[in-house]
Amino acid sequence: MLTYLIRRLILVLPVAFGVSVICFLLVQIAPGDPLTAIMPVDATAEEQDAMRAAYGLDKPLPVQYAIWIGNLVQGDMGKSIASGRPVAGEVFGAVQNSLVLALSAAVIAFPIGIFLGFLAGYFRDTWIDRVVTAISIAGVSVPNYWLGIVLVIIFSVNLGWLPSMGAGPGGSSEWEWNWLHIRHLILPAVTLAVVPIGIVARTVRALAGDILTMDFVQALYAKGMSRADVLRHVARNAAATALSVMGLQLGYLLGGSILIETVFNWPGSGFLLSNAIFQRDLPLLQGTILVLALFFVAMNLIVDVAQAAIDPRIQRT
């Protein structure tokens, strides 16, 4: 197992390097001048050249990348063009808020999705299966930003039960674990959890339904094993694939929440990325995209190692 872990860690290095190159180039080839947001309209050519030199934008792209990656290794992501603040502080503060939102949505989505999936798989081709399938399809199909707006209208505007914007009282951007902040978390977390509920439920339903028809399940019943014990064996056989799907969904919850964070004005990485795009803030764009991409890489690594640990059929060499 240790050899497998070391091999997977070594394979992550070229992937991380490729991710950094793609993040850098995608932002660089985007149209527009990133300095237009901070330079006065009547700036002279000399002032524009001096500003580009200050941010290193006057150098060739390979040189810019080498400087950027060298600073990145030292923990320096540069400074935001729009605000002048260090990118690392803004990105990691936003990612922390996104992690709170993503993990809260996962806590809601994964248990519900697993329960509904096993329920539908066990009662396959019955009315229970059809109801769960309908719920899953609806969850995947409904646009989550539209659902967020509907929930805001119902629970914030009409009923006044829950706040609709920000991560805390007074539009606070710093998260604290208390009821005043949790109230701001409920609506975006529920909205963000809808799609993963549908995906996890459909995946587990297909896995459980197929495993329950296998010969070894009938052999377990023939041995006199209880239904609960048989279902534990079914769960162990389905765990590796389900874990892979849930790992990808957790990455989606963190990196794909830009619309939800915009709707609820949640100060996370998606909201920060949206502002950086509109402001054409290159250092902030690069830093945010890189951190989110590396999170996906890390999640894939964790899921691969976890799958190998729980499923002896997976080759570990």
Q: pLDDT of 27-45, one tens digit each?
A: 677 666 666 666 666 667 7
pTM of the model: 0.81
The DSSP secondary structure of the chain, one letter per residue, reads -HHHHHHHHHHHHHHHHHHHHHHHHHHHTSSS-GGGGTS-TT--HHHHHHHHHHTTTTS-HHHHHHHHHHHHHTT---B-TTT-SBHHHHHHHHHHHHHHHHHHHHHHHHHHHHHHHHHHHHTTTSHHHHHHHHHHHHHHHS-HHHHHHHHIIIIIIIS--S--SSSSGGG--S--SSHHHHHHHHHHHHHHHHHHHHHHHHHHHHHHHHHHTSHHHHHHHHTT--HHHHHHHHHHHHHHHHHHHHHHHHHHHHHS-HHHHHHTT--SHHHHHHHHHHHT-HHHHHHHHHHHHHHHHHHHHHHHHHHHHH-TTS---
pLDDT(133) > 70: yes
pLDDT(92) > 80: yes
pLDDT(316) > 70: no
> Percentage of residues in the chain with pLDDT exceeding 90?
11
- Compute the mean pLDDT over every residue in the chain, rounded to the nearest whole number: 81
- Can you give the pLDDT at residue 82? 72
Distance CA 118, CA 237 (A): 13
- Can you give the pLDDT at residue 153? 92
pLDDT(108) > 90: yes
Nearest one of 111, 114, 122 to 227, comparing CA atoms: 122
Residue with tokens 């081709």: 125
Domains, in order of start, for the chain: 87-310 (1.10.3720.10)
Residue with tokens 């040189």: 63
Per the CB < 8 A criterion, the answer to whether 242 and 203 are in contact is: yes
- Can you give the pLDDT at residue 211? 83
CB neighbours of 72 closer than 8 A, spacing ≥ 6?
A: 20, 290
* Length of the chain (residues): 317
CA atoms within 13 A on the CB side of 247: 19
Hey, which of 11-15, 188-192, 284-288, 304-308 has the most confident mean pLDDT? 188-192
pLDDT(111) > 90: yes
Q: What amino acid occupies position 166?
A: G
CB neighbours of 254 closer than 8 A, spacing ≥ 6?
A: 95, 98, 99, 102, 269, 292, 295
* 17-26, 106-115, 122-131: the lowest-pLDDT one: 17-26
Report, as an integer, the average pLDDT of 284-289: 83
Nearest one of 185, 155, 143 to 168, comparing CA atoms: 185
Residue-wise pLDDT for 232-283, tens only, equals 888 888 887 888 888 888 888 877 677 888 888 888 888 888 878 777 777 8
Can you name the residues that pair with 79 across neighbouring β-strands?
A: 86
pLDDT(123) > 80: yes
